Amino acid sequence: MAMRGWLRRKKTSAKDRMSRRSESHYVREIHDQLPDNIAELQRIFTLTPDLVIRQFNSLQVEGQIALVYLRSLADKNSINNNVLRPLLNQREGADKSLFELLSVGKVFTVYNFQSVETEILQGSSVLFIEGRKEALVVETHGWPQRAIEDPQLEASLKGAHQGFVETDAQNIALIRRYIPNRELKIKEIWVGERGATKLSVMFLADVANPDVLQELEDRIKLIEVDTILNTGELEEYIEDNPYSPFPQLITSERPDTVASHLLQGKIAVIVDRSPSVLIGPASFPSFFQNVDDYSTRWLVATFIRMLRYLAFIVATFLPAIYIALISFNYEVIPLDLILSIGESREKVPFPPLLEALLMELTLEMLRESGIRLPAPIGQTVGIVGGIVIGQAVVQAGIVSNIMVIVVAFTAISSFIIPNYDMASAVRFIRFIMMLLAAMFGIVGIVVGLMALIGHLISLESLGVPYGSPLAPVRFSDWKDFIVRSPLWKMMDRPKGTRPIQEKRQGNNRLKGSEK
Amino acid sequence: MRALLRMIWSTVLVVMLSGCMDRIYLEDATLSLMVGLDVNEKNELLVYMTSPVFSEEAKEKSEEYGVRASTIRESRMGFDEIVTALTVSGKIQVLILGQRLLQHPDWFRLLDVVFRDAKFSVNARMVALDGPVSEMFEYRPKDKPRLALHVTKLIDTANYRNLTVKTRAQEFHRQMFEPGITPTITELRKEKRAVKVMGTAMLTENGVYAGLIEPRNTLLLQMMLHEKQGEISVTIPIQEQNDQKSIVAGKISFFVKGVNKKVKTTYRDGKFQFDVQMGLDVSISERMFPYNMEKDYKKLEKMMEAELRKDYDLLVKKCQAAKTDPFGFGLYARAYEYKRWKKIENDWPKAFSEAEVHFKPEVSIKGNGVTK
Amino acid sequence: MRKYAYHELSLLQYILLIHGTQIGIGVLTLPRELAEHAGTDGWLSMFFGWGVSVLVSLVITNMMKLHPDKTITDLLTLLLGKWLGKVASILMSVYCAIAAIVVVVNSAFIINVWVLSQTPGYIIFMLFAIPIYIIIQGGLRIIARYSELVFYLTLWMPLLLAAALKDANWLHFLPIIKEGWQPILSASIYTVLPFLGFELAYFVYPFLKKKQHASLGIVVANTLTLLVYLHVTIICFAFFSPDEIKQYTWPTLNLWKVIEYSFLERIDIIFLAFYLFILSTTVLTYMYFAVFCTTQVFGNRDHRKHLIVLLLLIFVCLWFYTPSFMDLKKMTDIWSIAGVGFAFVLPVLLFGPIWLLQRKAGGKKA
């Protein structure tokens, strides 16, 4: 029993630590004396050389004004033109209030230093006025931004060529352009103690299931961390089963993909400062879909879908099957094939498992090394891998040429899977299957498959079955599963996401008799 | 609890890794492709085996060995003493039985391991060899692929043209255990320069060699057994003109396009009577004599029918004399005359030798080739 | 008060869960057992087994209908009082455990004979334990989804089996009813065990969402099972000679051995490996209800710990003693006898008292 306690991770104590730190927060009211406020600010922002505190008098306002902002985050043009100029120069607008003078979109009042601190750190400017127990926040963000470019990871042939950027307002704009509808709601949640990250939970209020939304919100609210740097981090905090190799939420960098998922009744989380958007609840088949599917002919798209599932099976099991057949069950291979395999295996000094591991690991290394290299060098890696290793290894008699074929086929198959996370999961599972095959042959593979299926059907994404529409079987959702049936046939939204509004579209095709 | 389990789990995994003993790598296996069984003069069992050699250094592409043993499984020990790798039996393609072995009534029991050991292939083609098995395994043809592959292919193609039956071990097992049929297997002979398909070997109920059915009669047997299977091309003499000097015989060849067999079983006069009606759709492929087809094709059909009936009757007589029933008439007897069958169940070949079989071929000419 | 609402099953899941439980090792041996006792007329006996099973399952369903939110363990506690009820639940658990163990050990044994002849049985069991744990830990909902999926995943098997029909000889079936009805009736005893599995309606009924279809569901499940058995039996009888089939312990597997394709030979190995899916549905359900009963008895909410204990127990037993084929036969017989008791006799005995209980409770309410 003692050991049990010792081995268990101390979750409670971690929580204690977090809450103690949050006590240090400023929850102090704003003073009515300006110097006091400035002193307070200087106490909060020590060693902050980019903090600007500009004090001046204005004709329109009684008493001195202090303008506070962070030089690095605020847009200087906006401050000059829209805040300073009206307050300093304007003579005729004496009857206007301060609110009316500031020609900026968003101006609001805050009453405590905690909000002041947050706003300044977000790039807003804050106006303190002598004698008032409040401060005006003027939105003057202006930080370095990237232009909107083609998405890198999810390239598309026919889809839009806009990808998300690092500013959430921009990203929301990109999505809203697809769904200009008042039912598209956004809930803002702030996460992180230090670098408060704004999460915008986006959903179609009359489609998305409120229980799923609630579940997602509850999970986000449980997070207590310094900051969320990336969507991937958020995903790890809120996913259902952290021990699974499978991605349980979709990340996308394409606004059209997000819009399509929103229309299906899913929920998107836009993480500020991160160029990808998290979508949930996800199901296993959704990782095999792609925006292009819906803009190619449905027969072709269906064929490609099938190809992807086949690729999934091949990429997961092919090396394992090779190992099993070579070391256990060669009765299964037809005679002519077995003779040619036997001839090519004869020279190889390693057992099949080692041979396969060697080649698979080489492949993974090549792949990993290629990813982060600049394109010209990346090509060299491909040449080294393809020609030098592929050719030489066979000629040296280290690996049989059938194994090289198997590995190459596996690699190509794993590139066909459109989602990077899913492809990575497959790469990982492949090795487990190889081990099982090396230990038990075909029986090992089948038991591995059984465990894999068992795992997939017990997985859930935000409390919604991951295996849907396969397990539990929902035949109505099969229209967009292995087969991508014609769009006008998909009258209902997929039931897998439990939408509250099921009808997606009316009858868009006239029946033969109605023509 | 969880951590404890994880520890147990990992230890068990380690045990598992070391605990699998079924692995035999392909290159460590000697795949026996053809197995031969024979007895020598002293009635000792001889087991032969041939298997492919993968090594590039070896000059020959396959190795052949023979050992003396009392059972097939015991012979494996003998082979393992000689061959480079471990002998495995999962891919046996051909099982050759020597003629001398086939004289012994109990030889079938030797095959027990084939059916008992789940790893054994039951798809091996059964072959009776006319002559000693050693000849066959010593044969190393220069112009053929590995002998085992050559023989396999030979049997398969000969069977496609219906020159011989293709009885796999499983089918042979069935024929041995089915009281209403006697087994038939391929018969081969090792000629000087080649392996030749002789036809079909008839075996009696307990597996003893009872005679040969020539290829042209095997055709008839196959039609009776399987209706149309593979390609059936029949050549029969038609006595149209009797010109002694001509080198061209009055023969006609035809393809059988479809066979429609009906067997009527009755029991009359203390014996079984089988009326076999065979509807044959044929297409003439060769005609060695002039004939007015448009006018007299009915007559030609009749002549062909008569010829076929004669052939069938001869074949049945031959089988009856040898106390065999390769046609499986016993199955019909059981299906339609169950009470009578029950009485003679244990000695069907004897009952069959007394039975009467009437063949009624009904030829219908459907095609005449591209010339008139 | 819906105690089991979280694990609600749809009608299809209910059907396929029971059907999956019924199809087990029976498919492999049934053709031989029938041929031994009734020759090629054995397939007719299937209908008797089916009829009896349907009748009894309807009795069970109607019994459970009286208390739609209670499983058999709850009912037994109500009926017999707290302590006797617990004893009865433990007996139930033992029965389910025996069924699960018989199937799982048999599977390991068959794998041992056909594919991995040198690997010890306990290691094979250990391998099985991985998916068993992964699936059962999710509870009945996951098991039902699994059964459903396995049903679809294995639909290719009967189709491929029909490939053996090209060598079939239909004359084997004639004449129908060779020796009269007596052997056919006597062989129908052997069709009882293959239909076992419907008695799990005792447990599954409360989980069913649409209870009005329960009777229909269980009849459909039994009929599906009948069709599968008929299919296998008829193909086996047509393929093997009536005397030959008695030679094989598992004729269905021998059937696969013959099928050969240009790209694949020895399909029996692949078939057997995939047959583990079908066997797994039987093992999973029985094993789940074995631990379900014990959790009910001990008032424990987490069935996973019980499951681990059970798996470890089986593992250790197999480690120290490898059962011989005779032991397996004895174990299967024990299961048959227990199955007859639990599935056929018990519902008849319980129906009266439970009905009375319902009336009493109803009277109180009114």
How do strand B29-31 and strand B86-88 relate by DSSP bridges? parallel
Nearest neighbour of B54 by CB, restricted to A3, A343, A440? A343
Amino acid at A186: I
- 8 Å CB contact between C136 and C307: yes
Q: Is residue B151 domain-resident?
A: yes
Chain C residue at shortest CA distance from A471? C145
pLDDT band at B65 (very low <50, low <70, confident <90, very high): confident
- Rounded to the nearest integer, the mean pLDDT of chain A is 84
| Same domain, yes or no: B156 and B300 | no
pLDDT band at A480 (very low <50, low <70, confident <90, very high): confident
- Closest Cα of chain A to B71: distance in Å? 23
Burial group, residue A2, by CB count within 10 angstroms (0-12, 13-18, 19+)? exposed
Residue that finishes a domain, picked among B213, B236, B267: B213
Over residues A281-292, the pLDDT tens digits come to: 998 998 998 888
| Same domain, yes or no: B55 and B30 | yes
- Tokens 């110097």 belong to A35
Residue A18 confidence (pLDDT):
45
Residue that finishes a domain, picked among B213, B247, B267: B213
Q: Is residue B179 domain-resident?
A: yes
ipTM: 0.91
Interface membership of A317 toward C (CB under 8 Å): no
CA quadruple B11, B14, B15, B16: dihedral sign: positive
Over residues A24-38, the pLDDT tens digits come to: 454 678 888 888 888
Which of B8, B12, B226 should we substitute to test contact with C (largest number of C Cβ atoms within 10 Å)?
B12
pLDDT band at A3 (very low <50, low <70, confident <90, very high): very low
Question: What are φ and ψ of residue B269, in 5° steps?
Answer: 50, 35
Say if the Cβ atoms of B179 and C243 lie within 8 Å: yes
- 8 Å CB contact between A323 and A438: yes
Q: Is residue B94 domain-resident?
A: yes
- Closest Cα of chain C to B334: distance in Å? 7
Residue A164 confidence (pLDDT):
92
In three-state secondary structure terms, A66 is strand
- Rounded to the nearest integer, the mean pLDDT of chain C is 86
Residue A269 confidence (pLDDT):
94
pLDDT band at C350 (very low <50, low <70, confident <90, very high): confident
| Same domain, yes or no: B77 and B46 | yes
Q: What is the mean pLDDT of residues A223-250?
A: 89
If phi > 0 it is left, if psi is from -120 to 50 it is alpha, else beta; for residue A502 that is alpha
Lowest mean pLDDT among A296-310, B58-72, B271-285, C139-153: B58-72
**Token pair of A387, please?**
């020609």
The predicted model scores a pTM of 0.87
Distance from C-alpha of B312 to C-alpha of B317, rounded to nearest angstrom:
9
Q: What percent of chain C is modeled with pLDDT above 90? A: 21
pLDDT band at C24 (very low <50, low <70, confident <90, very high): confident
Q: Is residue B16 domain-resident?
A: no
A514 against B368, higher pLDDT: B368
| Residue closest to A299 by CA, chosen among A479, A488, A486 | A486
Alpha helices in B291-366 (DSSP H): 293-321, 329-336, 338-344, 348-354
Residue C16 has pLDDT above 60, yes or no: yes
Q: Is residue B104 domain-resident?
A: yes
**Token pair of A52, please?**
């600007």
Q: How many structural domains comprise chain B? A: 2
In three-state secondary structure terms, B165 is coil
If phi > 0 it is left, if psi is from -120 to 50 it is alpha, else beta; for residue A241 that is beta
DSSP C278-331: HHHHHHHHHHHHHHHHHHHHHT-S-HHHHHHHHHHHHHHHHHH-PPPHHHHHHH
- Closest Cα of chain A to B55: distance in Å? 6
A194 against A17, higher pLDDT: A194
| Same domain, yes or no: B177 and B287 | no
| Same domain, yes or no: B269 and B355 | yes
Q: Is residue B9 domain-resident?
A: no
> Which residues are CB-neighbours of B356 under 8 A, at least 6 positions away?
B271, B272, B273, B274
CA end-to-end span of chain A, whole Å?
77
Residue A23 has pLDDT above 90, yes or no: no
- Secondary structure element (H or E) that encloses residue A127, with its range: strand A125-129
| Same domain, yes or no: B68 and B136 | yes
- What are the DSSP E strand ranges found in chain B? 29-31, 34-39, 45-52, 62-68, 86-88, 94-98, 125-129, 184-190, 195-203, 209-213, 233-237, 251-268, 271-287, 356-367
Neighbours of chain C (3+ CB pairs under 8 A): A, B
Residue B242 confidence (pLDDT):
58
**Token pair of C232, please?**
């296998």
Distance from C-alpha of A214 to C-alpha of A462, rounded to nearest angstrom:
10
> Which residues are CB-neighbours of B325 under 8 A, at least 6 positions away?
B180, B181, B182, B319, B348, B349, B352
Residue C229 confidence (pLDDT):
92
Q: What is the mean pLDDT of residues C45-57?
A: 90
Over residues A317-334, the pLDDT tens digits come to: 999 999 998 888 888 888
CA quadruple B330, B333, B338, B342: dihedral sign: negative
Q: What is the mean pLDDT of residues B345-371?
A: 87
> Could you tell me how far CA A463 lies from the centroid of its own chain?
18
- Rounded to the nearest integer, the mean pLDDT of chain B is 85
Distance from C-alpha of A22 to C-alpha of C53, rounded to nearest angstrom:
66
Nearest neighbour of A440 by CB, restricted to B20, B25, B27? B20
Over residues C316-325, the pLDDT tens digits come to: 888 888 888 8
Q: What is the mean pLDDT of residues A230-243?
A: 89
Q: Is residue B221 domain-resident?
A: yes
Residue A309 confidence (pLDDT):
93
Residue C287 has pLDDT above 90, yes or no: yes
Residue A21 has pLDDT above 60, yes or no: no
| Same domain, yes or no: B130 and B256 | no
Distance from C-alpha of A361 to C-alpha of C259, rounded to nearest angstrom:
37
| Same domain, yes or no: B205 and B228 | no
CB atoms inside a 10 Å sphere around CB C329 = 12
- CATH for B248: 3.30.300.210
DSSP tag of C139 = -
In three-state secondary structure terms, C210 is coil
Neighbours of chain A (3+ CB pairs under 8 A): B, C
Number of Cα atoms under 13 Å in the Cβ half of residue A220: 25
Which of C244, C256, C318 should we substitute to test contact with B (largest number of B Cβ atoms within 10 Å)?
C244
DSSP tag of A46 = T
Residue A2 confidence (pLDDT):
39
pLDDT band at A17 (very low <50, low <70, confident <90, very high): very low
| Same domain, yes or no: B129 and B150 | yes
Q: Find which of A314-318, C265-269, C312-316 is predicted with most confidence, using mean pLDDT.
A: A314-318
Residue B12 confidence (pLDDT):
66
Neighbours of chain B (3+ CB pairs under 8 A): A, C
| Residue closest to A263 by CA, chosen among A294, A230, A226 | A294
How do strand B209-213 and strand B195-203 relate by DSSP bridges? antiparallel
pLDDT band at C4 (very low <50, low <70, confident <90, very high): low
Distance from C-alpha of A447 to C-alpha of A175, rounded to nearest angstrom:
44
B370 lies in which domain range? 215-372
pLDDT band at B243 (very low <50, low <70, confident <90, very high): low
- 8 Å CB contact between B110 and B37: yes
Residue B60 confidence (pLDDT):
80
| CB-based burial, A238-271: b 16+ in 10 Å, e otherwise | bbbeeeebbbbbbbbbbbbbbbbbbbbbbbbbbb
DSSP tag of B41 = T
Over residues A347-396, the pLDDT tens digits come to: 888 888 888 888 888 888 888 887 788 877 777 877 777 777 778 888 88
- Secondary structure element (H or E) that encloses residue A269, with its range: strand A267-271
Residue B20 confidence (pLDDT):
57
Which of A335, A446, A460 should we substitute to test contact with C (largest number of C Cβ atoms within 10 Å)?
A446
Interface membership of A8 toward B (CB under 8 Å): yes
Residue B240 confidence (pLDDT):
57
- Closest Cα of chain B to C241: distance in Å? 6
- Secondary structure element (H or E) that encloses residue A135, with its range: strand A135-138
DSSP tag of C91 = H
Over residues B300-349, the pLDDT tens digits come to: 888 888 888 988 899 999 998 888 888 888 888 888 888 888 888 888 88
Q: What's the helix, strand, coil split of chain C in %, to 5?
A: 80, 0, 20
- Tokens 């059209």 belong to A256
Residue B250 has pLDDT above 70, yes or no: yes
Nearest neighbour of B54 by CB, restricted to A326, A342, A352? A342
Residue A60 has pLDDT above 80, yes or no: no
> Which residues are CB-neighbours of C145 under 8 A, at least 6 positions away?
A457, A465, A467, A471, A472, C13
Lowest mean pLDDT among B87-96, C103-112, C165-174, C284-293: C165-174
| Same domain, yes or no: B199 and B235 | no
Number of Cα atoms under 13 Å in the Cβ half of residue A149: 11
Residue that finishes a domain, picked among B155, B190, B213: B213
> Which residues are CB-neighbours of A295 under 8 A, at least 6 positions away?
A158, A159
Nearest neighbour of C131 by CB, restricted to A333, A447, A465? A447
Amino acid at C251: P
Residue A203 has pLDDT above 90, yes or no: yes
pLDDT band at B245 (very low <50, low <70, confident <90, very high): low
What secondary structure, in 3-state letters, does A170-231 show? Answer: HHHHHHHHHCCCCCEEEEEEEECCCECEEEEEEEECCCCCHHHHHHHHHHHHHCCCCECCCH
What secondary structure, in 3-state letters, does B209-262 show? Answer: EEEEECHHHHHHHHHHHHCCCCCCEEEEECCCCCCCCCCCCCEEEEEEEEEEEE
| Same domain, yes or no: B188 and B254 | no
Q: Is residue B19 domain-resident?
A: no
pLDDT band at B80 (very low <50, low <70, confident <90, very high): confident
Domains and CATH numbers, chain C: 5-344 (1.20.1740.10)
Over residues A158-202, the pLDDT tens digits come to: 888 889 998 888 899 999 999 999 999 999 998 888 878 889 999
pLDDT band at C15 (very low <50, low <70, confident <90, very high): very high
Burial group, residue A51, by CB count within 10 angstroms (0-12, 13-18, 19+)? middle
Q: Find which of B75-89, B309-323, C62-76 is predicted with most confidence, using mean pLDDT.
A: B309-323
| Same domain, yes or no: B147 and B97 | yes
- Closest Cα of chain C to B243: distance in Å? 47
Distance from C-alpha of B351 to C-alpha of A69, rounded to nearest angstrom:
114
- Secondary structure element (H or E) that encloses residue A55, with its range: strand A51-57
